[in-house]
Amino acid sequence: MPTPLPLIAVTMGDGAGIGPEVVVAALLDDAVLTRCHPVVIGDAPRLREAARVLGLDCEIAAVDHPRDAEFTPGRVNVVDLGLLPADLPWGELSRLAGDAAYAYIRRAAELAVAGEVHAICTAPLNKEALHAAGHLYPGHTELLAHLTGTEEVSMMLSTEKVKVIHVTTHIGLIDAVNRIEPGLVERTVRRGHEAMVRAGTPNPVIGVCGINPHAGENGLFGYGEEDEKIAPALETLRTDGIDARGPLPADTAFFLASRGDYDLIVAMYHDQGHGPVKVLGIEAGVNLTVGLPVIRTSVDHGTAFDIAGTGTAEAGSMVEALRQAAGMATVPVTPAA
């Protein structure tokens, strides 16, 4: 009996951005359809318009629930929430699109928590549009934590060469340094270790960046943050058998990871981790939220208003995000009667 494919809720993202285009293109990709059963949570008319600008001949089929979807070549299933106006402009900030993007995520989270889908994969939302609609979250990571009742989660970026998890994300640099403390570092590393094991690396080697240049260089730079905020966490982790090494100079850690010395890098703040990953190739990067009670992956790019509606958006990151979601999802086995 063949292994059942995981059912994945794919949120359409901000309808004024490239989300509808990358979703349609990815869901028609054979590499996706052989690994999972994706169902969009979004607006069917917007997906039809995206297919038109992409020049794709496909069926956009509205369904009431993911379980009602049929998976045949050339068909894109969508739970149609009907929230966007027909004349929504491409590439322009819209409060309505921000509110709709929130609704798509909320519905997907409800389905995932209830076990009615096996993972969530998200197209990009626009933070300014989200805020204009009254949903004051820094991004998907924090929003999904709220919707699933999760106190603390971590952002992980994954590419073929480098994987990085962040101790802090969407806060200012001064606030990030103040927030970092041994308990947070330890919990972040543990979440990263668990994610790597789940993804098939049983004994990951984890490199942990310092905060200051050269990881402080024995007190030459900074005020002893590495010894105070990071080193105690690493001692505890190593005692528990987790191979966490550091604190490492961030300017060399990513190079060493790219050649295979480390399976995962722990970045202390947003740009420390995002910059190197995006240089390696934003089109193939995937964003994962680690620590949720559900699987969630996402593209590692924004709404790209400058090219939205032109049919030129690349769907590679969405294809990869769906592939990784399918790889981590667990489909419950129904006992034989």
Q: What is the CATH number of the domain that holds 191?
A: 3.40.718.10
Spatial distance between the Cα atoms of 237 and 222, rounded to a whole number of angstroms: 24
**Which structure tokens are listed for 154?**
């971590």
* Whether residue 233 has pLDDT greater than 50: yes
Residues 254 and 109 in one domain: no
Question: How many CB atoms neighbour CB 254 within 10 A?
Answer: 24
Query: Do 9 and 97 fall into the same domain?
Result: yes
Q: For CA atoms 149, 37, 91, 314, give the dihedral sign.
A: positive
Does one domain contain both 102 and 213?
A: no
Query: What does the DSSP 8-state code read for residue 153?
Result: -
Same domain, 273 and 173: yes
Q: Is the pLDDT of residue 108 over 70?
A: yes
**AA identity, residue 215:** A
Q: Which of 273, 288, 303 is the last residue of a domain?
A: 288
Q: Does pLDDT of 336 surpass 50?
A: no
Express as a percent the part of the chain with pLDDT over 90. 80
Q: Report the amino acid identity of residue 11.
A: T
279 and 308: one domain?
A: no
Handedness of CA 195, 9, 122, 144 (dihedral sign): negative
**Residues 157, 148: contact at Cβ < 8 Å?**
no
Do 126 and 159 lie in one domain? The reply is: no
**Least confident interval from 80-89, 157-166, 245-254:** 157-166
Q: How far is the CA of 167 from the CAs of 47, 171, 255, 281, in angstroms? A: 36, 11, 20, 22
User: Which structural domain, as residue segments, surrounds residue 89?
Assistant: 1-150+292-337
* 8 A C-beta contact, residue 283 and residue 252: no
Query: Lowest mean pLDDT: which of 35-44, 103-112, 190-199, 271-280?
Result: 271-280
Q: What is the mean pLDDT of the chain?
A: 93
For 197-228, what is each residue's pLDDT tens digit? 988 899 999 999 999 999 888 888 989 999 99
For residues 131 and 136, what is the distance between their CA atoms, to the nearest angstrom?
A: 5
Task: List C-alpha distances in Å: 110 to 104, 146, 150, 217, 322.
Answer: 10, 12, 14, 48, 19
pLDDT by residue (tens digit) across 304-315?
Answer: 999 999 999 999
Confidence of residue 329 (pLDDT cuts 50, 70, 90): confident
- Residues 193 and 79 reside in one and the same domain: no
pTM: 0.87
Q: Which amino acid is at 197?
A: V
Can you tell me the distance from the alpha carbon of 285 to that of 50, in angstroms, rounded to the nearest whole number?
23
Same domain membership, residue 296 and residue 281: no
Give the sign of the dihedral formed by CA 258, CA 316, CA 301, CA 110. Answer: negative
pLDDT value of residue 333:
53
pLDDT, mean of residues 273-288 = 78
Strand, helix or coil for residue 34: coil
CB 159 within 8 A of CB 191: no
Asked if residue 180 and residue 96 are part of one domain, the reply reads no
pLDDT at residue number 1: 47
For residue 151, is pLDDT > 70?
yes
Give the pLDDT band of residue 337 (cuts 50, 70, 90): very low
pLDDT value at position 158? 86
Domain limit, last residue, from 288, 314, 329:
288
Rg (CA), the chain: 20
What per-residue confidence (pLDDT) applies to 215?
87
Domain count within the chain: 2
Same domain, residue pair 258 and 304? no
Same domain, residue pair 280 and 332: no
Residues 139, 240 within the same domain: no
d(CA 215, CA 211) in angstroms, rounded, equals 6
Is residue 53 pLDDT above 70, yes or no?
A: yes
Residue of 320, 231, 331, 250 lying closest to 29 (CA atoms): 320
Rounded to an integer, what distance in angstroms lies between the CA atom of residue 196 and that of residue 281? 21
pLDDT at 12: 98
Predicted confidence (pLDDT) at residue 127 exceeds the cutoff of 90: yes
How many residues in total does the chain contain? 337
